[in-house]
Chains A and B, each alone.
Chain A
Amino acid sequence: MKSSDVVIALVGNPNVGKSTLFNNLTGLNQTIGNWPGKTVEVARGTLVYENKKIEIIDLPGTYSLTSYSEEEVITRDYILSNEADVIINVVDATALERNLFLTLQLMEMNAPLIIALNMVDEATKKGLEIKVDELEKILEVPIIPIIATSGAGVAELIRASLSKPKKTKRLKYGKEIEDYISKVIDLLKDVYKEQYPIEWVAIKVLEGDPIITAKIEDKIIRKIKLIIEEMEKIHGEPSSVIIASERYSLIHRIINNTVKLHAAPKISLSERIDGIITHPTIGYLILVITFLSIFSIIFSLGGIISEELNILFESIINYLRAMLSNIDPILLHLLLNGILLGIGAGISIIIPYVFLFYLLLSILEDTGYLPRAAFLLDSFMHKIGLHGKAFIPILLAYGCSVPACMGCRIMETWRERLILGATIILIPCSARTVIILGLVGHYVGILAALMIFIIDIIIVVTLAKILFKLLPGRAVGLIMEIPPIRMFKLSSIIKKTWIKTKDFIYIAFPLIVAGSLIISTAEIYGLIDPIVSAISPITVGLLGLPLETGIAFIFGFLRKELALIMLATYLGSMDFSIFMNSTQMIIFAIVMTLYIPCIATLSALIKEFGWKRALMIAAMNISLALIVGSIGIRILNFLTH
């Protein structure tokens, strides 16, 4: 039973404007969720057009449909499930040759295909003339030229989808390859009873696809192996490479007949900018300036917004307290200090920083700066055993650990994801940065605060290096597309930022409020003092901190940004210098940064890596914080005496 009239799935390479088209079709009417049981994000949305309810699924961006990555397997399984009535293949008109590689594979699967030929305006600017009619004739697939950013052609695309295109037929390859394919089909024909198109299965088995091969009887596979061996002997390449080359040579012939390059492209402005920002010296200078300004914007502007919102929330709470003075005081405490203060802190402290962070990040993303930064930083990332793309989750971690954990998915292997996930949570997120700046920066000095950031980086790098040595496997090299430099569209940036912030609110907010409730309940039942004294051997004995800091550590687990506020409430004073000296403040801030991922981060870690590994990571953090803290305080005390 389908709840909608038509189901459309969007498929395409990364960076072809697939998400822009998706946002254009669905507006803000969308949800982003994990594919069931997988760590791949899939967005779903709905659209009503001429009284028809259309469900749209934005499948992950892929270049191919092998079984080497989760994204590719999910995409092809979805297409084979026949759940979608229409598969829209979003194709970048400026890079048709590479994009058609996926299109040919979709045709091999007999998908009900429509091609959305995106960025036709940019193609024209580049001097490319695409004969759409010719191309349509060769592929026998309807092609709709669109400009996703402006919405041109989108209505036509929807109309074409509503007429439910028929299943496509695959294009024939060269005679030699076709002979191999028919030989495999002959072997499969009698035994193969699954619903997948047999020609597609034959090609996949020839390619040596492990998932499809495993579905077929050993006896048959042994015979097919002989065919593959013959093929590989003649060509001297693995069968998968032979077939990929065959697809490309067919594409080359198609392109020769349908695409004309008019004027030899002049060096465009975007190329010139590209040359500057990836320049071996100026590029790095720009990189440093970019990130320094991002952080100063986030923390200065974010601080102002945060303060304003905080004042607003306090007055709301005070107003409500006066209004509700006649209800049960315990209930009132839970309501105001638990739920409302939780929401308030979430909105006033996290949102300004996280929202601003996402906003600036979206600009970097849409202009194409991020992959260029990854390009420049690749060799540095190799020092910790990772490659350039790892820099993106690291950058995210300075905003908030939760999206950073999810961002680890861009790494290709499980090992890389684990190394990155275990280390980036030690990077001070905006909440922890507020603690470092608000305590050490304010009372000890900005240089001391800066030192903490540097010490943190040293710890992260060392830990990543150790994990890289400990976990089995080899380093994975960088292979990454570099999209052209583009001017960003404000509307698209705002939409993106809103969707990401909303996503963050859904994940983190319930946990923040729950944390607040637990704190208020503990307060009511007088549980705080016993716990604080119970952990005093650690706080006072091992770390040499005042007894009261225990409260910050307990509640820091629930909500890191609350640690300072809780401490202030407990002490009844905002002046921390009364009861902590400079040394203690520095150690407190370092331990606070390292000691445990907050509850929202922990739940993200569990989602990405499972219970066992998440708890191991948390245990590792605690021991690391205790080691660094206990050694640190002794060194600092020795130096100052």
Chain B
Amino acid sequence: MLEEIIEIFCKIKAKLGKVTREDMKKEGLREEDIDSAIREGLLIEKYNGLEITSKGEKKLLNHRESFLHNSIIHEAEDAVDENLVMHWIAQHGITEIDEFYERLKALPYRIEELTLLAELPEGVEGEVVLIVGGGGVIMRLCSLGITPGTRLKVLRKAPIGGPLEVEVRGTKIAIGRSIASKILMKSL
């Protein structure tokens, strides 16, 4: 399966930083598997190693999307808010999906209690459960008082996908919709 070949590629890439044919073979793939992925334009040979193409990334994303869909949404039977995951996937890159999924699995909450900050209606209060994102974004949020466990209230939302204004620790903070969809909340 082509998807599996790229998944293996990503796994090695995450571990070693760079990927060669030999590494791929150690994971149980055959030469012709790798060649077929290159033929399909999913991988490319570069600097004595292998790299993923944008087509390959797209394929990977599709694969994980359905994986996430099947595991999170269907395992939790009908309970999960489908928008939550789909909205999130639409907004973010591949590496973050992994992180999000890993951490979502470990959370001590029932998934149906959770919602994204971006989805929280005006006037509703919630508690921050999880923030996903680069170190810069997380630290900027932390320094403005938004850390896991913090209670905040959505004051208003700007129209057309604009930012949210939240009240936290006695101050008001505007948070862009894309960042707000990386903050998982438990509504109170």
Contact = CB atoms under 8 A, between A and B. Distances in A.
Interface of A: 62-64, 66, 68, 94-98, 101, 236-238, 240-241, 244-245, 248, 275, 278, 280, 371, 374-376, 378-379, 382, 387-388, 412, 474-475, 477-484
Given A248-B150, A388-B176, A479 B141 contact: yes
A166 B127 CA distance: 39
Interface string B140-163: 111111011110000010111111
Interface stretch (B10-18, B65-73, B165-173): B165-173
B106 A236 contact: yes
B147 A241 contact: yes
Contact of B138 (A238, A475, A480): A238
Contact of A478 (B145, B149, B160, B176): B176
A479 B142 CA distance: 11
Contact of A240 (B139, B150, B171): B139
A244 B136 CA distance: 14
Contacts of A412: 136, 140
B155 to A, nearest CB: 9
B174 A244 contact: no
A248 B145 CA distance: 8
Interface string B68-95: 0000000000000000000000000100
Interface of B: 93, 103, 106, 131, 135-145, 147-150, 156, 158-163, 165, 168-179
B90 to A, nearest CB: 14
B143 A101 contact: yes
A73 B52 CA distance: 37
A241 B156 contact: no
A482 B158 contact: no
10 contacts: A97-B170, A98-B169, A280-B159, A378-B176, A379-B160, A388-B163, A479-B144, A480-B173, A481-B173, A482-B172
Contacts of A237: 148
B169 A375 contact: no
Q: Which DSSP category, helix, strand, loop or mixed, fits chain B's interface?
A: mixed
Contact of B142 (A95, A240, A387, A388): A240
B179 A479 contact: yes
B117 to A, nearest CB: 12
A382 B178 CA distance: 10
A273 B82 CA distance: 38
Contacts, number: 125
Contacts of A64: 139, 142-143
Given A278-B158, A376-B162, A379-B160, A96 B170 contact: yes
A479 B140 contact: yes
A244 B144 contact: no
Contacts of A379: 158-163, 177
Contacts of A63: 140, 143-144
A241 B148 CA distance: 8
A478 to B, nearest CB: 4
A379 B180 CA distance: 13
B171 A375 contact: no
Nearest to A484: B172
A275 B123 CA distance: 13
Contact of A66 (B131, B143, B165): B143
Contacts of A378: 158, 162-163, 174, 176
A64 B139 CA distance: 9
A477 B145 contact: no
A479 B174 contact: yes
Contacts of B169: 95, 97-98, 248
Contact of A479 (B149, B162, B176): B176
A478 B181 CA distance: 12
Nearest to A244: B142
Contacts of A238: 135, 138
A482 B143 contact: no
A236 B179 contact: no
Contacts of B145: 97-98, 101, 248
Contacts of B158: 278, 280, 375-376, 378-379
Contacts of A244: 139, 142-143, 147
A95 B144 CA distance: 11
Given A375-B162, A375-B163, A379-B160, A98 B142 contact: no
A393 to B, nearest CB: 17
B19 to A, nearest CB: 21
Contacts of A371: 174
A331 to B, nearest CB: 58
B179 to A, nearest CB: 4
A95 B142 CA distance: 15
Contacts of A241: 131, 138, 142, 147-148
A371 B145 CA distance: 18
Contact of B175 (A94, A374, A478): A478
Nearest to B168: A98
Contacts of B175: 477-479
8 A-B pairs with the lowest CB-CB distances in the bound complex, closest first: A64-B143, A477-B176, A478-B176, A477-B179, A63-B143, A244-B142, A379-B162, A482-B172
A66 B162 CA distance: 28
Contacts of B131: 241
Nearest to A65: B143
User: Which of B103, B168, B174 lies at the interface centre, i.e. has the most chain A CB atoms within 10 A of its CB?
Assistant: B174
A626 B139 CA distance: 45
A375 B177 CA distance: 11
Contacts of B179: 477-479
A388 B178 contact: no
B170 A98 contact: yes
A241 to B, nearest CB: 6
Among B144, B160, B171, B177, max chain A CB count under 10 A is at: B171
A280 B156 CA distance: 9
Contacts of B173: 479-482
Contacts of B139: 64, 66, 68, 240, 244
Contacts of B150: 248
B11 to A, nearest CB: 20
Central interface residue in A63, A378, A475, by most chain B CB within 10 Å? A378
A115 B163 CA distance: 33
Contacts of A96: 170
Among B137, B141, B170, the one with the most A-chain Cβ atoms within 10 Å of its Cβ is B170
A466 B134 CA distance: 25
Given A95-B169, A95-B170, A244-B142, 8 more contacts: A63-B143, A240-B135, A248-B150, A378-B162, A378-B176, A478-B175, A481-B171, A482-B174
B148 to A, nearest CB: 6
B164 to A, nearest CB: 9
A101 B150 CA distance: 14
Interface centre among B161, B163, B172 (most CB of A within 10 A): B163
